[in-house]
Amino acid sequence: MIIVIQCANSKRPGAGTLLTKDSTPVKFVARPELAPDDDYAYARPDDISDNDESWRQRLKHYNASVSGNPLGLLPAYELYENPVYLQLAEKVGRSRLFILSAGWGLISANFLTPVYDITFSTEARGPNLYKRRRRGDHFADFCMLPENTTEPVLFLGGKSYLPLFLSLTRNIRTSRTICYNSTIPPDAPGCSLVRFETTCKTNWHYSCAKAFLAGTWDPDLS
Protein backbone atom coordinates (compact mmCIF):
# COMPACT_ATOMS: atom_id res chain seq x y z
CA MET A 1 0.00 0.00 0.00
CA ILE A 2 1.10 3.55 -0.82
CA ILE A 3 0.09 6.36 1.53
CA VAL A 4 -0.23 9.95 0.40
CA ILE A 5 -0.61 12.45 3.23
CA GLN A 6 -1.00 16.20 2.93
CA CYS A 7 1.80 18.47 4.09
CA ALA A 8 1.90 20.45 7.34
CA ASN A 9 2.36 24.10 8.22
CA SER A 10 4.96 23.62 10.96
CA LYS A 11 8.47 22.85 9.71
CA ARG A 12 11.40 21.71 11.83
CA PRO A 13 13.55 24.51 13.26
CA GLY A 14 16.80 24.86 11.37
CA ALA A 15 15.54 23.12 8.23
CA GLY A 16 17.64 24.04 5.20
CA THR A 17 16.82 26.43 2.39
CA LEU A 18 17.93 27.13 -1.13
CA LEU A 19 20.13 30.23 -1.46
CA THR A 20 20.43 33.12 -3.88
CA LYS A 21 23.81 33.89 -5.43
CA ASP A 22 24.53 36.31 -2.57
CA SER A 23 23.68 33.54 -0.03
CA THR A 24 20.31 34.96 1.03
CA PRO A 25 18.03 32.12 2.21
CA VAL A 26 14.93 31.65 0.06
CA LYS A 27 11.51 30.96 1.53
CA PHE A 28 8.90 29.77 -0.94
CA VAL A 29 5.41 31.27 -0.68
CA ALA A 30 2.32 31.61 -2.85
CA ARG A 31 2.37 35.41 -3.19
CA PRO A 32 5.84 36.91 -2.64
CA GLU A 33 4.57 40.46 -3.17
CA LEU A 34 2.62 40.17 0.10
CA ALA A 35 5.41 38.54 2.14
CA PRO A 36 7.08 40.22 5.14
CA ASP A 37 10.14 42.40 4.76
CA ASP A 38 12.74 40.36 6.63
CA ASP A 39 15.94 38.38 6.11
CA TYR A 40 14.49 36.00 3.52
CA ALA A 41 14.24 36.29 -0.24
CA TYR A 42 10.66 35.28 -1.04
CA ALA A 43 9.72 33.47 -4.24
CA ARG A 44 7.19 31.13 -5.78
CA PRO A 45 8.58 27.70 -6.64
CA ASP A 46 8.15 28.40 -10.35
CA ASP A 47 9.65 31.87 -10.37
CA ILE A 48 12.85 32.22 -12.38
CA SER A 49 15.82 32.19 -10.03
CA ASP A 50 19.03 34.17 -10.35
CA ASN A 51 20.66 31.51 -12.53
CA ASP A 52 17.93 31.71 -15.24
CA GLU A 53 16.13 28.50 -14.34
CA SER A 54 13.12 28.16 -12.07
CA TRP A 55 13.61 27.43 -8.39
CA ARG A 56 11.69 24.19 -8.96
CA GLN A 57 14.20 23.14 -11.60
CA ARG A 58 17.08 24.08 -9.31
CA LEU A 59 15.61 21.94 -6.55
CA LYS A 60 15.17 19.01 -8.94
CA HIS A 61 18.77 19.33 -10.08
CA TYR A 62 19.98 19.63 -6.47
CA ASN A 63 18.25 16.37 -5.60
CA ALA A 64 19.69 14.65 -8.66
CA SER A 65 23.28 15.77 -8.29
CA VAL A 66 23.85 16.83 -4.70
CA SER A 67 26.90 15.45 -2.96
CA GLY A 68 26.86 15.72 0.79
CA ASN A 69 23.73 17.94 0.83
CA PRO A 70 25.65 21.17 1.57
CA LEU A 71 22.46 23.22 2.10
CA GLY A 72 21.17 20.84 4.76
CA LEU A 73 17.81 20.23 3.12
CA LEU A 74 15.67 17.65 4.89
CA PRO A 75 13.88 14.76 3.18
CA ALA A 76 10.16 15.51 3.07
CA TYR A 77 9.22 13.02 5.78
CA GLU A 78 11.60 14.76 8.21
CA LEU A 79 10.75 18.35 7.25
CA TYR A 80 7.50 18.61 9.21
CA GLU A 81 7.40 18.90 12.99
CA ASN A 82 4.52 16.46 13.50
CA PRO A 83 6.08 13.02 14.21
CA VAL A 84 3.38 11.20 12.24
CA TYR A 85 5.34 11.63 8.98
CA LEU A 86 8.41 9.91 10.38
CA GLN A 87 6.25 7.20 11.97
CA LEU A 88 4.43 6.50 8.69
CA ALA A 89 7.77 6.28 6.87
CA GLU A 90 8.97 3.74 9.41
CA LYS A 91 5.78 1.67 9.15
CA VAL A 92 5.17 1.52 5.39
CA GLY A 93 8.69 2.35 4.19
CA ARG A 94 9.93 5.59 2.70
CA SER A 95 9.40 4.30 -0.84
CA ARG A 96 5.68 3.88 -0.11
CA LEU A 97 5.12 7.27 1.52
CA PHE A 98 4.40 10.43 -0.47
CA ILE A 99 3.64 13.97 0.66
CA LEU A 100 1.04 16.11 -1.07
CA SER A 101 2.66 19.53 -0.79
CA ALA A 102 0.83 22.76 -1.61
CA GLY A 103 4.17 24.14 -2.75
CA TRP A 104 5.80 21.27 -4.61
CA GLY A 105 3.07 18.79 -5.57
CA LEU A 106 3.20 15.06 -4.95
CA ILE A 107 6.71 14.37 -3.69
CA SER A 108 8.41 11.26 -2.39
CA ALA A 109 9.24 10.94 1.30
CA ASN A 110 12.95 11.00 0.46
CA PHE A 111 12.85 14.16 -1.66
CA LEU A 112 15.13 16.83 -0.22
CA THR A 113 12.76 19.74 0.38
CA PRO A 114 13.54 23.33 1.37
CA VAL A 115 11.61 25.50 3.80
CA TYR A 116 8.35 26.77 2.30
CA ASP A 117 5.17 28.39 3.55
CA ILE A 118 2.37 27.59 1.12
CA THR A 119 -1.07 26.26 1.98
CA PHE A 120 -4.55 25.75 0.54
CA SER A 121 -6.09 26.62 3.91
CA THR A 122 -8.57 29.49 3.92
CA GLU A 123 -7.28 30.33 7.40
CA ALA A 124 -4.30 32.00 5.71
CA ARG A 125 -5.78 35.47 5.54
CA GLY A 126 -4.88 39.03 6.50
CA PRO A 127 -1.12 39.31 7.08
CA ASN A 128 -0.75 35.62 6.22
CA LEU A 129 -2.41 35.87 2.82
CA TYR A 130 0.99 35.51 1.16
CA LYS A 131 0.94 31.82 2.14
CA ARG A 132 -2.33 30.92 0.47
CA ARG A 133 -2.33 29.15 -2.87
CA ARG A 134 -5.51 29.91 -4.78
CA ARG A 135 -7.28 27.43 -7.03
CA GLY A 136 -6.37 29.27 -10.25
CA ASP A 137 -2.69 29.85 -9.41
CA HIS A 138 -0.27 28.13 -11.76
CA PHE A 139 2.15 25.70 -10.16
CA ALA A 140 4.17 23.19 -12.22
CA ASP A 141 3.63 20.56 -9.52
CA PHE A 142 5.84 17.53 -9.25
CA CYS A 143 4.19 14.13 -9.45
CA MET A 144 6.68 11.54 -8.22
CA LEU A 145 4.21 8.67 -7.81
CA PRO A 146 4.91 6.29 -10.72
CA GLU A 147 1.96 5.89 -13.09
CA ASN A 148 2.72 2.17 -13.39
CA THR A 149 2.53 1.42 -9.67
CA THR A 150 0.47 -1.65 -8.90
CA GLU A 151 -0.04 -0.86 -5.23
CA PRO A 152 -3.31 0.66 -3.97
CA VAL A 153 -3.07 4.32 -2.97
CA LEU A 154 -4.61 5.78 0.20
CA PHE A 155 -4.99 9.55 0.60
CA LEU A 156 -5.06 11.14 4.05
CA GLY A 157 -5.85 14.83 3.84
CA GLY A 158 -8.41 17.59 4.00
CA LYS A 159 -10.89 18.57 1.30
CA SER A 160 -8.89 21.64 0.28
CA TYR A 161 -6.06 19.32 -0.84
CA LEU A 162 -8.32 16.80 -2.58
CA PRO A 163 -8.47 18.57 -5.99
CA LEU A 164 -4.68 18.55 -6.22
CA PHE A 165 -4.54 14.86 -5.30
CA LEU A 166 -7.17 13.98 -7.90
CA SER A 167 -5.40 16.01 -10.57
CA LEU A 168 -1.92 14.63 -9.95
CA THR A 169 -3.05 10.99 -9.68
CA ARG A 170 -5.55 11.00 -12.53
CA ASN A 171 -3.32 8.72 -14.65
CA ILE A 172 -2.56 6.24 -11.90
CA ARG A 173 -3.72 2.79 -12.99
CA THR A 174 -4.25 1.24 -9.59
CA SER A 175 -7.02 1.89 -7.07
CA ARG A 176 -7.23 5.18 -5.15
CA THR A 177 -8.99 5.43 -1.80
CA ILE A 178 -9.95 8.73 -0.16
CA CYS A 179 -10.27 8.89 3.61
CA TYR A 180 -12.73 11.59 4.66
CA ASN A 181 -14.32 12.93 7.83
CA SER A 182 -17.24 15.08 6.70
CA THR A 183 -20.84 13.86 6.89
CA ILE A 184 -21.17 14.47 3.14
CA PRO A 185 -18.83 12.32 1.03
CA PRO A 186 -16.46 14.27 -1.23
CA ASP A 187 -16.81 14.28 -4.99
CA ALA A 188 -13.94 12.05 -6.09
CA PRO A 189 -14.66 10.33 -9.43
CA GLY A 190 -12.82 7.07 -9.92
CA CYS A 191 -11.93 6.73 -6.23
CA SER A 192 -13.22 4.63 -3.37
CA LEU A 193 -14.30 6.48 -0.23
CA VAL A 194 -13.74 5.45 3.39
CA ARG A 195 -15.13 7.56 6.23
CA PHE A 196 -13.04 7.97 9.37
CA GLU A 197 -15.14 9.16 12.29
CA THR A 198 -13.48 11.44 14.82
CA THR A 199 -14.51 14.45 16.87
CA CYS A 200 -11.30 16.17 15.79
CA LYS A 201 -12.08 18.62 12.99
CA THR A 202 -8.82 20.51 12.53
CA ASN A 203 -6.14 18.29 10.99
CA TRP A 204 -8.39 15.27 11.57
CA HIS A 205 -6.27 13.23 9.15
CA TYR A 206 -3.57 13.00 11.82
CA SER A 207 -6.04 11.09 14.01
CA CYS A 208 -6.63 8.78 11.08
CA ALA A 209 -2.89 8.26 10.56
CA LYS A 210 -2.33 7.61 14.26
CA ALA A 211 -5.13 5.02 14.34
CA PHE A 212 -3.55 3.31 11.34
CA LEU A 213 -0.15 3.34 13.05
CA ALA A 214 -1.65 1.92 16.26
CA GLY A 215 -3.44 -0.84 14.36
CA THR A 216 -6.89 0.32 15.53
CA TRP A 217 -8.02 1.34 12.04
CA ASP A 218 -7.64 -0.66 8.87
CA PRO A 219 -8.72 1.01 5.60
CA ASP A 220 -9.06 -2.43 3.91
CA LEU A 221 -7.98 -1.51 0.39
CA SER A 222 -8.39 -5.04 -0.97
- Residue-wise pLDDT tens digits, 161-177: 999 999 999 999 899 99
Predicted pLDDT at 217 = 87
How does pLDDT run across 159-217, given as a tens digit for each residue?
999 999 999 999 998 999 999 998 899 999 999 999 998 877 778 999 999 999 999 98
What is the rounded distance in angstroms from the CA atom of residue 180 to the CA atom of residue 28?
29
Buried b (16+ CB within 10 A) or exposed e, 176-198: bbbbbbeeeeeebeebeebebee
Predicted pLDDT at 135 = 85
DSSP, res 165: H
The contacts of residue 7 (CB under 8 Å, 6+ apart) are 80, 99, 100, 101, 102, 103
Instruction: Give this prediction's pTM.
Output: 0.95
> Which of 76, 81, 80, 143 minimizes the C-alpha distance to 113?
76
Three-class DSSP category at 126: helix
CA distances from residue 110 to 40, 85, 138, 179 in whole angstroms, order as listed: 25, 11, 25, 24
How does pLDDT run across 36-72, given as a tens digit for each residue?
999 999 999 999 999 999 999 999 999 998 788 999 9
> Which of 106, 47, 121, 33 minimizes the C-alpha distance to 76?
106
Check whether 144 has a pLDDT greater than 90: yes
What is the rounded distance in angstroms from the CA atom of residue 164 to the CA atom of residue 138?
12
How does pLDDT run across 115-126, given as a tens digit for each residue?
999 999 888 889
What is the rounded distance in angstroms from the CA atom of residue 157 to the CA atom of residue 66?
31
Predicted pLDDT at 123 = 82
What is the rounded distance in angstroms from the CA atom of residue 210 to the CA atom of residue 88?
9
Q: What is the pLDDT confidence band of residue 142, given thresholds at 50, 70 and 90?
A: very high
CB 162 within 8 A of CB 169: no
Which conformational region is residue 154 in: left (phi greater than 0), alpha (psi within -120 to 50 degrees), or beta?
beta
Average pLDDT across the chain, whole number: 93
Instruction: Report the pLDDT averaged over residues 28-35.
Output: 97
Residue type, 149: T
How does pLDDT run across 80-108, given as a tens digit for each residue?
999 999 999 999 999 999 999 999 999 99
Predicted pLDDT at 222 = 60
Instruction: Report the pLDDT averaged over residues 4-16.
Output: 94
What is the rounded distance in angstroms from the CA atom of residue 23 to the CA atom of residue 133?
27
